[in-house]
Amino acid sequence: MSSGLRLPLEAAGLGMTSQRARDRLVERLREQGIRDARVLEVMRTLPRHLFIDEALASRAYEDTALPIGRSQTISQPYVVARMTEALIEFGLPQNVLELGTGSGYQAAVLAMLVKQVNSVERIEELSRTARKRFRKLGFSNVRARFEDGRLGWSEHAPFDAIIVTAATERVEPQLIAQLRPGGVFIAPVGGPDGQRLMRLRWIEDRWQQEDLGPAMFVPLLGGTLG
């Protein structure tokens, strides 16, 4: 197992009947350009089928987004791997903020690599279900909150990295304010007609912005849904 990878004991024996399917998924991710061995090992180890409805479990290791209810999706594995790889490229962050918990899969991937994950979800049902999954899998280093994600989570700021798993037409200033100097901010930026996955880093006295390629996410909306 690669250095820094944390697999909770509670998760170690789950989903092993799908190990062959996860191995095939990892090979596809490698063919698509994912190179970080730590990310590939997480994708090989973490049982994605536990983050979706049982009726869709047979499709869990396809490289595609799947519905999770309330007009939301669990992201395509390649997108999860790509965003994670970009987030940790310059070193493993200690304290990460995720906006858009959804199924909890992206947060779980990060939790196997970093010390602390803080995840915010605006849909109460999804937030509640994700928290149950984190407990079942033994992820004690994930805090989950039901709140408007555009507000961030200032109580646990500053963050070494912020990852947004929904599309925003602009980078919210209140989120950037919660990022530690030198930290990494990753988000799909754009509207329904087209988005680009962007990475921002504050280097010395200016923002360095990188375009990581096309993306397609549901929009980052304000407010909460009970």
Backbone angles phi, psi at 77, to 5 degrees: -50, -40
Question: What's the domain count of the chain?
Answer: 1
pLDDT of residue 5: 58
Residue 106, H or E segment: helix 105-111
| Domain-embedded: residue 96 | yes
The tokens describing 219, both together, are 């929009």
Q: pLDDT by residue (tens digit) across 21-37?
A: 999 999 999 999 999 99
Q: Residue range 130-156: average pLDDT? A: 96
User: Is residue 68 scored above 80 in pLDDT?
Assistant: yes
Q: Does the active-site annotation cover 75?
A: yes
Q: pLDDT by residue (tens digit) across 47-67?
A: 999 999 999 999 999 999 999
| Domain-embedded: residue 148 | yes
| Domain-embedded: residue 30 | no
Q: Residue range 150-168: average pLDDT? A: 96
Taking CA atoms, 203 is separated from 109, 114, 190, 197, 208, in Å, by 27, 22, 24, 19, 6
Local confidence band at 192 (pLDDT 50, 70, 90 cut-offs): confident
Q: Residue range 199-221: average pLDDT? A: 89
User: Is residue 213 scored above 90 in pLDDT?
Assistant: yes
| Domain-embedded: residue 111 | yes
- Sequence-ordered list of residues with C-beta below 8 angstroms from that of 159, at least 6 positions apart, any chain: 93, 95, 96, 97, 118, 178, 179, 180, 183
User: Is residue 13 scored above 70 in pLDDT?
Assistant: no
Catalytic: which of 3, 18, 71, 75? 75
pLDDT of residue 9: 44
pLDDT of residue 22: 93
User: Does residue 120 contact residue 142 with C-beta atoms inside 8 Å?
Assistant: no
- Sequence-ordered list of residues with C-beta below 8 angstroms from that of 174, at least 6 positions apart, any chain: 150, 151, 152
pLDDT of residue 7: 58
Q: Which domain holds residue 111?
A: 65-215
What CATH number does the domain containing 161 carry?
Answer: 3.40.50.150
In the chain, % of residues over pLDDT 70? 92
Count the residues in the chain.
226
| Domain-embedded: residue 172 | yes
pTM of the full predicted structure?
A: 0.92
User: Is residue 151 scored above 60 in pLDDT?
Assistant: yes
| Domain-embedded: residue 124 | yes
Within the chain, strands assigned E span 66-69, 72-74, 95-99, 116-121, 142-146, 159-164, 179-191, 194-203, 206-215
The tokens describing 37, both together, are 């061995």
The tokens describing 66, both together, are 């799947």
| Domain-embedded: residue 103 | yes
Q: What's the whole-number average pLDDT of the chain?
A: 91
Local confidence band at 202 (pLDDT 50, 70, 90 cut-offs): confident
Local confidence band at 205 (pLDDT 50, 70, 90 cut-offs): confident
| Domain-embedded: residue 196 | yes
pLDDT of residue 49: 93
